[in-house]
Amino acid sequence: MPIPTNPYQPYAKLHENPAGPGDKRPTTTQVLQDEGLLDGGLKDKVYLVTGCSAGLGAETARALHNAGGDVYMTVREAKKAEGEKIIKDIKSTSKGSGKLELVFMDLTVFDSVRAGAADFLKRSPTLNVLVENAGVMAPAYSKTSAGYELQLGTNHFGHFLLFQLLKDRLLASATPSNPSRVVIVTSAGHQFSPIRFSDMNFDKAGDYDGYTAYGQSKTANIYMASSIERHYAARNLHATSVHPGAIWDTDIKRHQSVELVDSTFDMSLLEPLMKSVEQGASTQVWAATAEHFRDKGGLYLSETGVAGPHPEGAHMAIGGYVGHTYDEEAEERLWRLSCEVFGVGED
């Protein structure tokens, strides 16, 4: 997609001089209020959000349901108790009366993705927005049941398969006046690595680095959103990718110690950039609901705005775009490869 030369950043002023979680940067509530959606504005809209056992996924589900949406939350079956607890907590304060239901799905197991998608399709004749939020970050080297490096297999291939399984429902639910959307949660960590097409699986002995693998998977998230936009915008389906910001209070940190994060990211510089979960979820809720994205996509978002170029010398967490963020040739190469993995057509 074209690199944005004049990025839309309606909350830029609020991101000046950040002061840590709970500062003046926008929350999901502010975003929905500014869009005029807080009082039932999402009624009759159907959302599927992955990775809802904690953190950003749970907060995204909370915000969408509070504004009237029907929300389906994916969790692994092993996290059923956590998911049920979150549903109870959301319902205790939500103003919405829409559906709020769990869908069991493990993105590392393709048969589980297929089963979860089939379960959702039986339950809902409509899908307006798919939020692909789940993720894993910097674990020790391992592979999925299908033989893919864990982060690429989970963050990209699992979500790619889910999109393919739900694509027809998204397209059938779309109209010119009410297009469908896909929001894919990526990260400023995509700066760690482009797609390593020569060795995506880190099969060479001693070659694995958790953050490099994470960066590759997050670049793949951006490329997938750009390719969806390129292939389906004409059919009223749009996609964006979103960097939520630096949030420590999420499940994605489960493979990392504070010491590892500090040595990688320099916590003294990172601390003022940190966000609360409600602030972190604001960009993906904005992408999923804002009128601005009703008929456009193929954009990488950060700080509740369309990301501009990454400022020279700035901390990675700010989340601007870098040289490989927009790369049509690499995007389409990954798209073709992913379609081949699952034996699906390119359009």
2 lies in a domain? no
Digit-coded pLDDT (tens) for 169-207? 999 999 999 999 999 999 999 999 999 999 999 998 788
Sign, CA dihedral 68-98-95-78, equals negative
DSSP code of 153? I
Tell me the average pLDDT across 268-288: 94
In a domain, 319, yes or no: yes
- Strand ranges for the chain from DSSP E: 46-49, 70-75, 100-104, 129-132, 180-185, 237-243, 299-302, 305-306
At 317, is the pLDDT very low, low, confident or very high (cuts 50, 70, 90)? confident
Nearest to 183 by CA among 34, 285, 90, 110: 285
Using DSSP, state whether 264 is helix, strand or coil.
helix
Q: Does a structural domain hold residue 171?
A: yes
pLDDT of 289 strictly over 50:
yes
Rounded distance between C-alpha atoms, residue 243 and residue 229, angstroms: 18
Q: What is the pLDDT of residue 258?
A: 57
If one counts the domains in the chain, the total is 1
CA 190-319-19 angle, to 5 degrees, is 135
Mean pLDDT (the chain) is 94
The pLDDT of residue 326: 98
pTM score: 0.95
Residue whose entry in the numeric block shows the structure tokens 């389409």: 332
pLDDT, tens digit, for every residue of 48-101? 999 999 999 999 999 999 999 999 999 999 999 999 999 999 999 999 999 999
CA dihedral for 43, 46, 52, 57, sign (positive or negative): negative
Q: Tell me if 100 is assigned to some domain.
A: yes
pLDDT given at position 252: 47
Catalytic residues: 214
Q: What does the pLDDT read at residue 318?
A: 84
- Residue 8 placed within a domain: no
Question: Domain limits at 36?
Answer: 13-342
Whether the Cβ atoms of residue 45 and residue 129 lie closer than 8 Å to each other: yes
Q: Is the pLDDT of residue 9 over 70?
A: yes
Residue 82's contacts (CB-CB under 8 Å, 6 or more residues apart) are 53, 54, 75
Do the beta carbons of residue 132 and residue 183 sit within 8 Å? yes
Residue 290 belongs to domain with CATH number: 3.40.50.720
Give the integer Cα–Cα distance in Å for 251 and 249: 7
What is the average pLDDT across 126-154?
Answer: 96
Q: Nearest CA to 272 among 314, 221, 225?
A: 314
Residue 33 lies in a domain: yes
- Whose tokens are 């559906």? That residue is 99
Question: Given the DSSP bridges, would you call strands 180-185 and 237-243 parallel, antiparallel or unpaired?
Answer: parallel
Residue 195 lies in a domain: yes
151 domain-assigned = yes
Dihedral class, residue 147 (left if φ above 0, else alpha if ψ from -120 to 50, else beta): left
